[in-house]
Amino acid sequence: MIPGTAAAAILTLLGLLHLYWAAGGTWGKSATVPTFEGKPVIHPTPLTTTIVAAGLFAMAALLAAKLGWIALPITALSLRASLWLASAIFFLRALGDFRYVGFFKRVRDTRFAELDTKLYSPLCLLLAAMVALVSW
């Protein structure tokens, strides 16, 4: 119960943060995009940031359903499979793209890379473990 509650809370907070950025908020945003030679590698739009927020909220809802807090119109098997998929997504994000993000990135001399090593990738690995534990 504790890992599921913690993961759902973290995912909800991250979803809210993404909605804040999608609405034009700037707090914390400067160190959330990988860069190379001082230029952003990706250019998230308000729409793509909102889509990420929706995905984070959906994962939180799946956890809430598994914990019995809410009812979703899906089978128990679909719920379990969806949680395993969410766990895999966070695990793969922690591993990274082997260039700009994740534990195995090659570009390591940027502010994003430093935060990714110390915070973002470990958090993704933790979320992967917590979601897997709940889905098991």
Q: Which residue has the higher pLDDT, 31 or 59?
A: 59
The pTM of the whole model exceeds 0.85: yes
* Tokens coding 75: 């089978």
Q: Give the count of beta carbons closer than 10 Å to the beta carbon of residue 97.
A: 14
Decide: 100 and 110 in contact? Cβ < 8 Å: no
CA distances in angstroms from 96 to 24, 41, 81, listed in the order given? 27, 14, 22
Kindly report, residue by residue over 55-110, the tens digit of the pLDDT: 999 999 999 999 999 999 999 999 999 999 999 999 999 999 999 999 999 999 99
pLDDT band at 132 (very low <50, low <70, confident <90, very high): very high
